[in-house]
Structure 1
Amino acid sequence: MPGTLYLIPNTLGPVDIPLQEDGTPHPLDAIIPREVQAVAARLDYFVAENAKTTRAFLKLLGSCQALSKPIQEIGIAELNVNTDASALPALLAPLREGRDGGLISEAGVPAVADPGANLVRMAHQHGIQVRPLVGPSSLLLAVMASGLNGQSFAFNGYLPTDADARSKRIRQLEDRSRKEKQTQLLIETPYRNAAMLEALSSHCQSNTLVCVATDLSLPTESVRTQTAGQWKAALAAGKGPDFHKKPTVFLLLAD
């Protein structure tokens, strides 16, 4: 009988949590439910977007849950944007042989804005049970905190890096948002956050609402919604958000 593929949520960024030895609730509990921690702690095989990040997560997890094995003995196979589709069957081989495994992203929940979706699809094709576990999703947290339309929204991933193509795409998303009254979500490589906000404030209509949600669920969390015109003025005055090299979700809603 095949094992189960658990979709394990990760934190949304580095979490510096000291060891708890006095029996008080562990701070990780506020981010990852204790029951989810227990499932992850008993697994000894993971398919991960980034092995180094996963080891850091397991070390953090081990500070409040006893792991099934020492971290160096836990199997971690990488699955990222560079992984060829032909490698997927081998990643599922332990599960087809009856071993439970976990799919874990570099941050947040796996298979959403994450290359793990293809592995999940293949698991279904092979009759492997897939169990998604509760944890932080930066996209949903951003929608919740933005004040924009939470009844209809779309995630658009990364926009083009070319300035002309990016401005064209922003106008397309703004037009769609206006016509469908739909919140548009997008992300950017953290070191290009400033360029993205500059583009949004320059190419959106001045009354279009733009939200910048940074470091969600972390101590440095910041969520700020205002019009594109207000963002443009803030940037001109040197009062932009503190989001350089920090994971950020951008949202817009046109009137």
Structure 2
Amino acid sequence: MQASLILIPVPLGETSIEQVLPDYNREQILSIKYFIVENIRSARRFLKKTDSSINIDDLTFYELNKHTNLEQIETYLQPIINGNSVGVISEAGCPAIADPGADIVAIAQRKNMKVIPLVGPSSILMSLMASGFNGQSFAFHGYLPIDGTERAKKIKQLEQRIYSEHQTQIFIETPYRNLKMVEDLMKNCTPSTKLCIAMNITCEDEYIKTLSIKEWVKRLPDMNKKPCIFLIYK
């Protein structure tokens, strides 16, 4: 097979690999000796869970996160030039989606290298699938502003897009600020606007529920320190 940049999804939580990743992914992983990873320790743990026969000491890891020098990233693709495929592994879910892996993919595309995305769980798409919201027009915004005034302004802008463009709006928050996010949505959205809270997707305690802002007032689940996706629609 042509040397390629292979994007390898990772389970979203302590879910068994067999539940969310096809056997083909394992076959691809076994053929790779070079990996670009967000965190070396967790990447090593994921690879051993994928196949216990993998000799971690035979592998080469390049770390790619918010602290990585951008000038250094391009050198991570040298194995492909030498004829060896390179795998990309993020902390959870699909590489390059709300993830620093997008930088290395962009460089590979500019260099006309083959990029192969493998099948795996995406909390963004899975939450949209289960929300009952518009799946033909949607936008993912990542994190909203932390500043209260700026956040309120952004929430109102997103809500306006729901009604003017009929577009689902999707965003996330740092897990320990989940409750504050919902409180801000309640303050700034109209009571009839629908909110879907999708939490711990694919895990044993998975929770996905859609209600109006008004209905959520007395029905909020425990979201403290749990990974959540938030979606709003009309």
Q: TM-score normalised by the shorter chain: which range applies?
A: over 0.9
Cα distance in 2 between the residues matched to 1:242 and 1:179: 32
Cα distance in 1 between the residues matched to 2:223 and 2:27: 33
Is 2:105 the partner of 1:125? Answer: no
From the superposition, tell whether residues 151 and 164 of structure 1 become closer, same or farther in structure 2 (CA, over 3 Å).
same
Cα distance in 1 between the residues matched to 2:57 and 2:13: 22
Task: Tell me the TM-score normalized by structure 2.
Answer: 0.95
Cα distance in 2 between the residues matched to 1:73 and 1:205: 56
Identity %: 43
Cα distance in 2 between the residues matched to 1:48 and 1:125: 20
Whether the 8 Å CA contact 2:26–2:51 is kept in 1: the answer is: no
Query: What is the number of equivalent residue pairs in this alignment?
Result: 234
Q: Which residue of 1 aligns with 2:177?
A: 192
Q: Which residue of 2 aligns with 1:39?
A: 28
Is 2:138 the partner of 1:149? Answer: no
Is 2:208 the partner of 1:223? Answer: yes
Cα distance in 1 between the residues matched to 2:59 and 2:143: 33
Is 2:50 the partner of 1:61? Answer: yes
Q: Which residue of 1 aligns with 2:153?
A: 168
For 1:85-134, what per-residue CA distance to the aligned partner results, in whole angstroms no more than 9, with x for missing partners? 21111111122211111011111001111111121111122222110110
Taking the TM superposition and a 5 Å limit, the aligned residue runs for 1:175-214 are 175-214=160-199
RMSD: 1.5
The one-letter code matched in structure 2 to 1:138 is: S
For 1:149-195, what per-residue CA distance to the aligned partner results, in whole angstroms no more than 9, with x for missing partners? 11111001100111111111100100011100100000111111111
Divergent runs of 4+, >3 A: none
SS of the residue 1:55 aligns to: helix
The one-letter code matched in structure 2 to 1:9 is: P
Whether the 8 Å CA contact 1:11–1:31 is kept in 2: the answer is: yes
Q: Which residue of 2 aligns with 1:8?
A: 8
Q: Which residue of 1 aligns with 2:79?
A: 94
Q: CA deviation at 1:28?
A: 2.3
Cα distance in 2 between the residues matched to 1:42 and 1:250: 37
Structure 1's unaligned 5+ residue stretches are 16-26
Cα distance in 1 between the residues matched to 2:164 and 2:83: 50
Q: CA deviation at 1:243?
A: 2.1
Whether the 8 Å CA contact 2:64–2:100 is kept in 1: the answer is: yes
Whether the 8 Å CA contact 1:139–1:249 is kept in 2: the answer is: yes
